[in-house]
C-alpha cells in the first residue's frame, strides 16, 4: 500500500473539545476553507507533500491513518467537490468511536460524467499558466481578493498528475454513489447531508438526484443553496457553516432549498433547472487538507 503523506491547515485551539474535519477540492488547498473555518472556530471548533498514486483507496487510507490516534473525535466531517467524495469514503473507514455525528457533503462528485479531453487539458493548463489575481477576480466577481491569492497559490502547489489520476478514477467508477456513500446500517449514529449548488448557476449534483436518493439512500438528506456556485465555501460560507453546525434546522431561512430531510423526512420540492457541465472542479490533492480540525 503506497504511503501518502499530506500537510494540514489548522484553525483554532488544538485542545478544543469540538473538532470539524473539512476536505478541500481538486484545484484548491487547505486555506480555501478559511472563511468557514473562522466561523466554526468562533463557535468552539478547533485543530500533505505530493505522493502518488492518487485514487480513492490510497487517499482514504491516508486520511484514516491520520485520524487513527485522535484523542478527540471530529464532531463533523465535511468536504467540497472531490473533498466531499473522499469525506464519504473516509467515513466508512473510521471505527465507530471516531465517526462524526454529522457528515456534510457539499457539491460531491458522485457518478459525475468523466472529464472530456478538452476539460482535462484546460485544468492542467491552469497549473502551468497561472492566471493573475485580477483575471481570477474578473471571472469570479463574488470572490474577495484573498480567495484569488489563495487560488493562485493552490494552482502553483498542485501536482498536475493528481488531476490526471483522479480523472482516470472517475472513468473506472471509483467516484460513484454505490462506492462512496455509507450504508444505512453503517451510519445509524450520523446525519448524512448533501448540499448542492444552485442548478440555475452551475452544479455537479443537480436536484434530479433527489429521486435516486429517495430510492437507494432514503437516510441521506439533500438540499441546494440558492445562488450558490460550486465554490460555495467561498461564496456562501455562512450558509455552509450553518449547515455544518446545525444541519437543516432553519436552513431554509438561510437560503437552502431542502429536497430531502424536511421535518417530515420526504421530498418537499422537486423543481429542477438543467445545469451546465462544470469543468472547474476540486479534490483533496497533494498539498494541504483543511482541518477545522483539518
Tell me the DSSP string of 178-219.
Answer: HHHSPPSTT-TT-EEEEEEPPTTT--SS-TTHHHHHHHH-TT
Q: Are 1 and 58 in contact (CB under 8 A)?
A: yes
Q: Cα separations (Å) of 255 from 87, 126, 203, 249, 274?
A: 24, 32, 16, 12, 20
Q: What grid cell was written down for 44?
A: 468552539
Query: pLDDT band at residue 51, thresholds of 50, 70 and 90?
Result: low
pLDDT at 61 over 70: yes
Residue 145 lies in a domain: no
What domain range includes position 15? Answer: 7-113+157-291
Sequence-distant (≥ 6) Cβ neighbours of residue 191 within 8 angstroms: 101, 102, 103, 221, 247
Mean pLDDT across the stretch 184-198?
95
* pTM for this entry: 0.78
Residue 262 lies in a domain: yes
Query: pLDDT band at residue 52, thresholds of 50, 70 and 90?
Result: confident
For position 255, which CATH number holds?
A: 3.40.50.1820
Give the model confidence (pLDDT) of 79-95 as tens digits: 999 999 999 999 999 99
Please count the structural domains in the chain.
1
Q: Which position has the higher pLDDT, 154 or 293?
A: 154
Strands 256-260 and 220-225: what pairing?
Answer: antiparallel
Residue 277 lies in a domain: yes
Residue 119 lies in a domain: no
- How far apart CA 221 and CA 264 sit, in angstroms, is 12
pLDDT of residue 56: 94
CA within 13 Å, CB half, 193:
32
Amino acid at each position: 500500500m503506497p504511503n501518502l503523506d499530506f500537510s494540514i491547515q489548522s484553525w483554532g485551539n488544538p485542545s478544543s473539545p469540538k473538532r470539524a474535519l473539512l476536505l478541500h477540492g481538486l484545484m484548491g488547498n487547505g486555506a480555501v476553507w478559511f472563511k468557514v473555518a473562522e466561523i466554526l472556530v468562533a463557535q468552539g471548533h478547533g485543530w500533505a507533500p505530493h505522493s502518488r498514486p492518487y485514487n480513492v483507496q490510497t487517499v482514504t487510507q491516508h486520511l484514516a491513518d491520520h485520524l487513527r490516534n485522535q484523542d478527540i473525535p471530529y464532531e463533523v466531517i465535511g468536504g467540497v467537490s472531490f473533498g466531499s467524495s473522499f469525506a464519504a469514503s473516509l467515513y466508512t473507514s473510521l471505527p465507530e468511536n471516531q465517526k462524526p455525528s454529522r457528515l456534510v457533503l457539499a457539491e460531491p462528485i458522485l457518478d459525475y460524467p468523466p472529464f472530456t479531453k478538452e476539460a482535462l487539458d484546460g485544468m492542467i493548463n491552469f497549473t502551468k499558466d497561472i492566471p493573475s489575481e485580477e483575471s481570477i477576480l474578473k471571472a469570479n466577481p463574488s470572490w474577495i481578493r484573498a480567495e484569488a491569492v489563495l487560488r493562485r497559490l493552490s494552482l502553483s502547489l498542485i501536482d498536475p498528475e493528481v488531476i490526471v489520476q483522479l480523472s482516470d478514477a472517475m472513468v473506472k467508477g471509483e467516484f460513484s454513489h454505490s462506492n462512496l456513500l455509507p450504508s444505512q446500517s453503517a451510519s445509524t449514529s450520523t446525519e448524512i447531508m448533501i448540499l448542492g449548488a444552485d442548478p440555475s448557476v452551475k452544479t455537479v449534483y443537480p436536484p434530479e438526484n433527489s429521486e435516486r436518493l429517495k430510492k437507494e439512500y432514503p437516510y441521506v438528506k439533500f438540499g441546494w443553496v440558492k445562488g450558490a456556485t460550486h465554490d460555495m465555501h467561498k461564496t456562501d460560507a455562512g450558509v455552509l457553516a450553518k449547515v455544518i453546525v446545525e444541519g437543516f434546522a432553519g436552513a431554509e431561512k438561510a437560503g437552502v432549498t431542502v429536497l430531502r430531510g424536511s421535518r417530515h423526512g420526504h421530498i418537499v420540492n422537486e423543481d429542477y433547472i438543467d445545469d451546465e457541465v462544470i469543468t472547474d472542479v476540486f479534490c483533496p490533492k497533494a498539498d494541504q487538507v483543511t482541518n477545522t480540525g483539518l
